[in-house]
Structure 1
Amino acid sequence: MSTATTVNAMAPPLIELRGVTRTYGQGATVLQALKGVDLRIEAGDFVAIMGPSGSGKSTAMNTLGCLDTPTTGEYLFQGVHVETLGRDQRAQLRRHYLGFVFQGFHLLPRTSAQENVELPLLYRGESASARRKAASRALEQVGLQGREHHTPAELSGGQQQRVAIARAIVTEPTVLLADEPTGNLDTQRSAEIMELLQDLNVQHGITVLMVTHEPDMAAYAKRIVRFVDGVIESDVQNPHPVRRHAASQEAVH
């Protein structure tokens, strides 16, 4: 075995959950949302997280996004024990390493696409010039060059989600967490958003974690993790992720 192979084999995962539980309430009202979850996510992975309502998938996503903390167990991000961090430290981790996309686009309605995308950089104290350049670059990445000055009302649902994705990647995050990102979109727009997430993963190396209840959307991921009753029921590689462009080209030819 080569030295490089040995080093790679010994490298820790980007994210690791070890025996994570999450309990809400006390006594008769207690709810155990997670019941000892073990999960490893490597850098560059694209993971679809699935499961019925109440299965624990959203709690797991909130934990991975540092929006919630385990009751017991360990959460390691690049080897750092996140469960031991204070609120401000977790906020710093979110600000510098994580990007978020939600089912609802959460755009400021009277604010241009450019200004919406600049917001995370404003919170980080970046200069106006740096914010403009980074936001323009992010909007170009998601195919919205020329729409910088449009407000959400002047954009389609798919375009609004692209603005939300641009806002999530403008800080150049290590991980993009997407919670039902196609839930408010029709079939064609959903496929376009999935194609974009796939491109960010494959071409730009962003690790993508996506909660979805739609098998058609999960089919774009490299790996599918299914939660049931607070535990991981299955964790399987997807050997043939959907490639819509390839399929379209085959149909044409």
Structure 2
Amino acid sequence: MSEAVDKLPLIRLRGITKVYGEGQAQLMALKGIDLDIHAGEFIAVMGPSGSGKSTAMNTLGCLDTPSAGEYLFQGVHVERLSRDQRARLRRRFLGFVFQGYNLLARTSAQENVELPLLYRGESAAMRRQAAQEALASVGLAGWETHTPAELSGGQQQRVAIARAIVTQPAVLLADEPTGNLDTARSREIMDLIRMLNVQRGITVVMVTHEPDMAAYARRLVRFVDGEIASDEPNPHPVGEGADTSVALPA
């Protein structure tokens, strides 16, 4: 592979706009976004409510389509894909973590984590082994049979993270992943996300309104009124240089 190809971004947005509604009710949520994301980056996306950061995240996650502009993922024009093709891209390359965990209430941690693999048609044996390994990697070995009601908020979010990484995605998209947690549990989750970024090389794009959580990222992108107001490196990410091999407590 040529050096030029090696340096291409994993994700490239060019002139991305998103318009909701018509006429006097029309709202332009994104106003021509340009953004490059390279493999292995850890980016925090910040901005006030209504700034466009969540719309941008939905676009990156193929949960919504832009009104105009180009979205390239590994050089493929995502905006030209069909609904089924976008779904396959999500299943193969993207993992999602949400503020509300989004776990199935009466389903065990093991079964929750297996779910993305079930959608991909993997065998029961493969699903079981991969889910157990994913749960162990987030510090929840031995908790496979517990339901969400039997887990703390931090443990539920770790199950959600295990579910997001069980498919070995290239990108982890995290939308306010610590929004429902106290300070101590929030730091545990951020240490885990940083570990996945550093040790596994998973590209992380995280939406957050909390500066303390954004401080873990190596790059800060701020949205204001549907535009990128600033895009700059974080010179001193939290935990930089720290030992990331220690598993989190259960």
| TM norm structure 1 | 0.93
Q: Which of these residues, 144, 151, 163, is aligned with residue 147 of structure 2?
A: 151
Residues 1:208 and 2:204 are matched in the alignment: yes
Provide the residue aligned with 1:81 in structure 2: 77
Structure 1 stretches lacking a partner, 5+ long: 248-253
Q: Which of these residues, 51, 54, 75, is aligned with residue 50 of structure 2?
A: 54
C-alpha separation between the residues in 2 aligned to 1:246 and 1:177?
23
Deviation at 1:10, TM superposition (A): 5.9
1:63 partner amino acid: T
1:86-132: CA deviation from partner (whole Å, max 9, x where unpaired): 10000000000000000001111111100110000011111000000
1:18 partner amino acid: R
> For 1:167, what is the secondary structure of its paired residue?
helix
> For 1:95, what is the secondary structure of its paired residue?
helix
C-alpha separation between the residues in 2 aligned to 1:107 and 1:8?
42
Deviation at 1:8, TM superposition (A): 5.5
C-alpha separation between the residues in 1 aligned to 2:189 and 2:86?
28
Provide the residue aligned with 2:37 in structure 1: 41
Provide the residue aligned with 2:124 in structure 1: 128
Q: Which of these residues, 225, 235, 240, is aligned with residue 221 of structure 2?
A: 225
Q: Which of these residues, 74, 91, 106, is aligned with residue 110 of structure 1?
A: 106
1:27-80: CA deviation from partner (whole Å, max 9, x where unpaired): 111000000000000000000000000000000000000001111100000000
C-alpha separation between the residues in 2 aligned to 1:238 and 1:225?
10
Deviation at 1:244, TM superposition (A): 8.5
Residues 1:30 and 2:39 are matched in the alignment: no
Provide the residue aligned with 2:248 in structure 1: none
Deviation at 1:9, TM superposition (A): 7.5
Report which stretch shifted further, 6-15 or 160-169. 6-15
Deviation at 1:240, TM superposition (A): 1.3
Report which stretch shifted further, 212-221 or 103-112. 103-112
Count of residue pairs the alignment pairs up? 243
2:81 partner amino acid: L
* Mapping of residues 142-181 of structure 1, within 5 Å: 142-181=138-177
Identity of aligned residues (%): 74
C-alpha separation between the residues in 2 aligned to 1:8 and 1:142?
36
C-alpha separation between the residues in 2 aligned to 1:243 and 1:172?
24
1:77 partner amino acid: F
Deviation at 1:11, TM superposition (A): 2.6
C-alpha separation between the residues in 1 aligned to 2:6 and 2:186?
38
2:239 partner amino acid: R
Whether the 8 Å CA contact 1:102–1:180 is kept in 2: the answer is yes
2:54 partner amino acid: S
Judged with a 3 Å threshold, the aligned counterparts in structure 2 of structure 1 residues 43 and 246 are, in CA distance, closer, same or farther, namely: closer
2:34 partner amino acid: D
RMSD, aligned CA: 1.5
Provide the residue aligned with 2:60 in structure 1: 64
> For 2:200, what is the secondary structure of its paired residue?
coil
Whether the 8 Å CA contact 1:50–1:226 is kept in 2: the answer is yes
Q: Which of these residues, 136, 145, 165, is aligned with residue 140 of structure 1?
A: 136
Provide the residue aligned with 2:247 in structure 1: none
* Mapping of residues 175-190 of structure 1, within 5 Å: 175-190=171-186
Judged with a 3 Å threshold, the aligned counterparts in structure 2 of structure 1 residues 245 and 237 are, in CA distance, closer, same or farther, namely: closer
2:189 partner amino acid: I
Provide the residue aligned with 1:251 in structure 2: none
| TM norm structure 2 | 0.94
